[in-house]
Amino acid sequence: MTLGALFDEAVGRFGDRPVLLGPEVSYVDYAARVNGCAHVLRDLGVGRGDAVAAVLPNSPVLLTLWLAVAKLRAVLVPLNPALRDAELAPLLAHSGAVLVVTDRPVPWRTIRPEELDVTAPAAPDVRVEPDDPVTVLYTSGTTGAPKGCVLSHTSYTAPAPAFVHRLGLDQDDRLLACLPLFHMAGQSFAVSALQAGASIGVVPKFSASGFWDQVAQFRATVFRHLGEMLTLILRSPVQPANHGLRLVYGGGARPDVARAFTERFGTTVVEGYGMSETNTVLCGDPGAPRPGSMGTPLPPAEVRVDAPVGEVGEIQVRGPGLMKGYHRDPGRTRAAFASSWLRTGDLGWMDHQAHVYFAARRTDVIRRRGENVDPAEVEEALGEHPDVLLGAVVGVPGEESDEDVAAFVVPLPGVRLEAADVRTWCRTRLASFKVPNHVHVVDRLPMTPTSKINRSLLRAAGAHGRNPLW
């Protein structure tokens, strides 16, 4: 099924029920917005295979744009609005975008989001196939260059029925969407709402202090999280008197955090697993939650660990929901699909009941507040500082996120370098989530026998929060 067909089917089944919350918009009325947006884009020349980039804050506009692009057999390239112009430019160039939807000045052919606010009774008559690409999601890789995951309609529609069934979602559910629609997690959550005929409340960003107010505002029943979100909610003193939140789904919550959340708020916590390249491929069972497990394979995906049961190995995936490849990168695409199984680069183990447990990441990518931070990109910014001789970046355990970004910098001889100045420098060149939390000014960096930076020693030093002595 195509994304447009899935939406049209939902409109036919749930017409007058709300699809958007705050304010409420029915499926029928929302379809008119999507159709109108598609006409505007077509009149601007957007057609089959054309890439339309979006640099927008999280809002229902992104969902409208995505569905409209899907109906035109075009491709949406949603980009994080926190990125600075210097970071956006190479992504726009690599994507080949013919148009950028944004409300900020960008040196590209642009249109403002309010210009898409048009209604129409029907979308343009375009034949769309399930295997057509519909999204390019850029994700930081381990080699320093971003990777654009090319995702087809099937990448989203294939896992949706099983996901909705596994979690027991239906038309009475009201989904609180705090995760951005320029990430796979936010997109797949929206598709699950359409699959179930549920309603979705999209908020600009997650707020621990305002979380329960948002739950009350939307009368939310289901929330999708990233692990650190639950920790922050638990640390908040807010204790809602009454709430209808029955289910929390996401990835990365420690077992003790999941248990504490359920004990304090009476809400079931279910874990899962997926990547931009795969969509959701593992999901737990709300009827029998198992803290620590990422769940069992979600049909039609197949998941295996390339090690005997109970032993740690690489998590590998195959199935119709996988990406088509990396955009304009045949080398990485061939490497990813060297066999029939996609290698995730994550380590885990599987028990005798096919429950999969996460062990570690093989890559150096830093996971901070739900964002992937490529150390090489931060190191490049450090290297541009006029007083920095050498810089290295690693992930260290974070107090309020998966990891913090720690930078070790060696100043030029005879130069006095302050950590605060380094952070200020980074803020002018990098998105806020990439700016190092910790900066250590050191005399030298540890090296391996092959003259490479010894990142293990850096991580150990950074974990102790002090300047190291090699």
Q: Which helix (H) or strand (E) holds 369?
A: none
CATH code of 3-360, in short, is 3.40.50.12780
Q: How buried is 99 (Cβ within 10 angstroms: 0-12 exposed, 13-18 middle, 19+ buried)? A: buried
Q: How buried is 335 (Cβ within 10 angstroms: 0-12 exposed, 13-18 middle, 19+ buried)? A: exposed
Cα distances (angstroms) measured from residue 63 to each of 67, 154, 187, 224, 326: 6, 17, 8, 17, 23
Average model confidence (pLDDT) for the chain? 92
SS3 6: helix
| Residue-wise pLDDT tens digits, 193-240 | 999 999 999 999 899 899 999 999 999 999 999 867 898 898 888 899
> 175 near 197, Cβ under 8 Å?
no
Euclidean distance between CA atoms 307 and 316, whole angstroms: 11
Residue 458 in tokens: 């850096």
With a cut of 70, say whether residue 448 has pLDDT above it.
Answer: no
Q: Kindly calculate the radius of gyration of the chain based on its CA atoms and give it in whole angstroms.
A: 23
Euclidean distance between CA atoms 218 and 203, whole angstroms: 10
| Angle at CA of residue 277, ends 183 and 49, nearest 5° | 80
| Residue-wise pLDDT tens digits, 64-88 | 999 999 999 999 999 999 889 988 9
| Residue-wise pLDDT tens digits, 101-143 | 999 999 899 999 999 999 999 999 999 999 999 999 998 543 3
Sign for the pseudo-dihedral over CA of 376, 381, 384, 387: negative
pLDDT recorded at residue 450: 43
Residue 464 in tokens: 């102790």
Nearest by Cα to 173 from 194, 157, 156: 194
| Strand pairing class (279-283; 268-275) | antiparallel
Cα distances (angstroms) measured from residue 156 to each of 18, 57, 197, 429: 22, 22, 16, 34
With a cut of 90, say whether residue 27 has pLDDT above it.
Answer: yes
Euclidean distance between CA atoms 145 and 297, whole angstroms: 30
Domain with CATH 3.40.50.12780 in the chain: 3-360
Compute φ and ψ for 256, nearest 5 degrees: -70, -35
Domain with CATH 3.30.300.30 in the chain: 366-463
Q: State how far Cα 77 lies from the chain centre.
A: 13
CATH code of 366-463, in short, is 3.30.300.30
Candidate from 73-77, 178-182, 241-245, 370-374 with smallest mean pLDDT: 370-374
Q: Which helix (H) or strand (E) holds 325?
A: strand 325-326
| Greater model confidence, 447 or 141 | 447
| Residue-wise pLDDT tens digits, 141-182 | 433 467 899 999 999 999 999 999 999 999 999 999 999 999
Cα distances (angstroms) measured from residue 119 to each of 38, 40, 58, 421, 449: 9, 10, 21, 50, 65
Nearest by Cα to 375 from 214, 181, 150, 143: 143
> 412 near 441, Cβ under 8 Å?
no
Residue partners of 400: CB distance under 8 A and separation at least 6: 228, 231, 232, 369
pLDDT recorded at residue 374: 82
276-285: average pLDDT: 97
| Residue-wise pLDDT tens digits, 390-431 | 899 999 988 766 799 999 999 988 999 999 999 999 999 999
Q: How buried is 244 (Cβ within 10 angstroms: 0-12 exposed, 13-18 middle, 19+ buried)? A: middle
| Greater model confidence, 49 or 383 | 49
pLDDT recorded at residue 140: 54
Residue partners of 334: CB distance under 8 A and separation at least 6: none
Residue showing tokens 């013919």:
98
366-371: average pLDDT: 84
With a cut of 90, say whether residue 469 has pLDDT above it.
Answer: no
